[in-house]
Amino acid sequence: MANNVNPRRNNIQYTRRKPKNRKNNDAPLRILMLILAAAVCCSVVFLVNYLKEDEPVNELPKETDFQQTTGEKDDTQKQTEDEQTTEKPVETTPPEPIYVPEFKADLSEYEMYMNPQGEQRDAYLVLVNIDNPLGSDYVPPDLVNVKSTRKDGRATQKLREYAAKALEALMLEAEACGVIKKNTPSGYPLSVMSAYRSYDYQRYLFYDVYLVQEMNRGLSREAAEKKVATYSNRPGTSEHQSGLCVDMHTLPSAGQAFKNEAEAKWLAENCYKFGFILRYPEDKIEQTKGIMYEPWHFRYVGRYHAKKMYDMNMCLEEYTEYLKNNG
């Protein structure tokens, strides 16, 4: 019979060893591993960023690009398209082309005078008549000699600079077109008889010359004044004081017979090209305040306005009223 030995029974005591605290022993190692891992991550991030600097940057697609590919539209785009479909397009007037006629003579150096631009374009559109008088002390600031003054002993006439230069161009072109000739009723070619007149000189002509002539023909003073007012303006109401008009013809003295001369017909048809208008047309007596037809009286306004008046068949009174109503 075997003996079962029981240590406890034999009072033999065994002591069990306590396990070591590994957690405390592993702490330094874990800290070291974390430091190494962090260093590796930082190195990887730095390396990736360094490599990307040499690569082209691809921009993200814009919202509009995305909308075009997906067919979707945001609220702002829809609102803009709705406004475009409901609002009327703004009408814009294209700039008016500058009209430059063809000439036989070389008038390039005179173009700025015939067709002034900028502020000068409207500077000569001055209406002078019985309703729009000039002051008795008005004298144009830039009077110059008129080269085409008739060479019959009269004083050299004067005009404002732009009008005088434009008139020079007109005479050069008239000569190139064969209009200037010596075989005329007066024996003088087309030439200027009168241009600028002062207030005092216009008063002298009206009262001391024309009025006296009509009264000597048997008219009363009142009747004589009415008669003179049809072919001469009272002082202050004459365009001659403006320095912008000329009386030019081929007759011994001004007369309506000039309309039958070739020079008069050429002037009436072509004067607008040089910036002049026939101031008192035959069919505008009512509009010009009763001034009779004067085929010898031409007024400078500049080509821009002269052509418009020619195309619309308007005298200066009609045209200024037209501009006032139409801007």
Q: What is the pLDDT along the chain (327 residues), one digit of tens a residue?
A: 444 444 444 444 444 444 445 445 566 667 777 777 777 666 665 665 655 555 444 444 444 443 444 444 555 555 555 555 555 555 565 667 788 899 999 999 999 999 999 999 999 999 999 999 999 999 999 999 999 999 999 999 999 999 999 999 999 999 999 999 999 999 999 999 999 999 999 999 999 999 999 999 999 999 999 999 999 999 999 999 999 999 999 999 999 999 999 999 999 999 999 999 999 999 999 999 999 999 999 999 999 999 999 999 999 999 999 999 997
Distance CA 303, CA 299 (A): 11
Domain match, 204 and 318 both: no
From 173, 239, 263, 294, the catalytic residue: 294
Domain match, 302 and 316 both: yes
How many Cα neighbours within 13 Å face the side chain of 261? 24
pTM score > 0.75 for this model?
no
* 87 in a structural domain: no
Distance CA 279, CA 298 (A): 5
203-236 residues labelled b (16+ CB within 10 A) or e (exposed): bebbeeebbeebbeeebeeeebbebbbebbbebb
Residue 236 contacts residue 133 (beta carbons within 8 Å): yes
Distance CA 87, CA 77 (A): 15
Domain match, 266 and 316 both: yes
Distance CA 142, CA 289 (A): 29
Domain match, 203 and 322 both: no
* 214 in a structural domain: yes
Domain match, 125 and 178 both: yes
Catalytic annotation present for 87: no
Residue 166 burial by CB count (10 A; 0-12/13-18/19+): exposed, middle or buried?
buried
Domain match, 214 and 282 both: no
Distance CA 268, CA 277 (A): 8
* 34 in a structural domain: no
* 22 in a structural domain: no
Token output for 127:
């209406």
* 278 in a structural domain: yes
**Which stretch of DSSP H or E encloses residue 160?**
strand 158-160
The CATH number assigned to the domain holding 293 equals 3.30.1380.10
- What is the domain extent for residue 208? 198-237
Which of 177, 212, 237 is the last residue in one of the domains? 237
Domain match, 272 and 306 both: yes
Token output for 62:
């814009």
Domain match, 180 and 216 both: no
Distance CA 41, CA 19 (A): 36
pLDDT confidence of residue 99? 86
Domain match, 174 and 257 both: yes
Residue 188 contacts residue 151 (beta carbons within 8 Å): yes
Among 292, 296, 314, 294, CA closest to 305: 314
Number of domains in the chain: 2
* 65 in a structural domain: no
Domain match, 269 and 296 both: yes
Among 132, 199, 163, CA closest to 274: 163
pLDDT confidence of residue 35? 77
* 103 in a structural domain: no
Residue 158 contacts residue 245 (beta carbons within 8 Å): no
pLDDT confidence of residue 88? 58
Distance CA 260, CA 302 (A): 26
* 36 in a structural domain: no
Distance CA 171, CA 180 (A): 8
